[in-house]
Amino acid sequence: MLSLLLFAAGVLAAPLEKRQAPSGVPDFALTYAPVAYLYSKEAYYPADIGSQLVNTQPQANYTPISNLSSRPLSLDNLDQLNAYGRGGQDVYLTSKDNVEDIPAWLRGAKPDSNGLTNGAVSSTVIVNNHGSGMVDVFYFYFYAFNFGGKYISHVIGNHVGDWEHTMVRFKDGKPQAIWYSQHSNGEAFEYRVVKKYNNGARPVVYIGNGTHANYAIPGDHDHAIPNVNLPQGLVEDHTDQGAFWDPIQSAYWFSFNASSQIFTSYDGSTRTNWLYYVGHWGDKQYRDSDPRQKDILDIDGSHKYTNGPTGPINKQLNRTKVCPDNGNLCIVRAILGP
């Protein structure tokens, strides 16, 4: 009986002890993989990456792309869209449904008690080995919909599709720093100062309600000013210790060669074609004439619906600093807090 109980305890603990990943994935990419807490009132959970293609229609300039191959669009052939709309840049995976009806697929898959998104591969891990012992491991998180939030009783920044990520920089297999993506920017911290799950090795990420921005601490976060995270303000994200999510339990695993710009799957069979798609994973910002669209006094950036995001290939996978090069200072913080 004792052995049976120990075995059962081991099974239950397994998702948070030893990872399952294809051969060749660096062990440190598993040992120090972030875990996450979604907001307790979250309505749009992590979603299956491939299912986004089933529920959308590719468009360029608000016009469906009709002369595709006879094969259904999938992760195996998504890169064919780069032949349209300025090399794919103007291609948008546009919802087949009216998003205001909130179809079920937009809501994603709430993680179970072990942190698994059952039936949904909702994460992608990409390893970039810079050489000389420096390795960046990107943990990408996918959602079918982003709810931008209410500001002065007005919803701003909704969009179909949402890619967020954390990145851990390693030196000789030891974690040095971690980047948390937030809207158009984010925050970087020394690895040693961030919260760890169960006081172990895995960093904790707190995910903002609806927007899915990633934070190192729970609470309220004003993000009106890039690189400044205040506890109160006009433009707030809210985080707490809601549903637990362990993204790498249901993930695709790839390496990235920056010199050749080639992705390689660790298991040798998972298709990489979709990673080369440079277009958007959601609708193009609705026209002002669209009855779903609203703004505040014609102020640019105040629209209810905005463009869907681009995917991992556009997230500076070969960055020099821990932060992406977006014109903001790269501050690697040595303490937690705003």
* Backbone torsions φ then ψ of 10, nearest 5 degrees: -65, -40
- Average pLDDT value for the chain: 90
pLDDT band at 3 (very low <50, low <70, confident <90, very high): very low
Span 297-308, average pLDDT: 87
Percentage of the residues of the chain whose pLDDT score is greater than 70? 90
Residues 6+ away with beta carbon under 8 Å from 142: 46, 47, 48, 49, 52, 122, 123, 124, 161, 162, 163, 281
Contact (Cβ atoms closer than 8 angstroms) between residue 272 and residue 293: no
Task: Check whether 18 has a pLDDT greater than 90.
Answer: no
Contact (Cβ atoms closer than 8 angstroms) between residue 122 and residue 247: yes
Question: Which residue(s) pair with 214 in the sheet?
Answer: 207
pLDDT digits over 228-276, tens only?
A: 666 665 667 899 999 999 999 999 999 999 999 999 999 999 999 999 9
Please tell me the predicted confidence (pLDDT) of residue 225: 58
pLDDT digits over 188-205, tens only?
A: 999 999 999 999 999 999
CA proximity to 304, closest of 221, 210, 207, 233: 210
pLDDT digits over 31-83, tens only?
A: 999 999 999 999 999 999 999 999 999 999 999 998 887 788 999 999 999 99
Percentage of the residues of the chain whose pLDDT score is greater than 90? 79
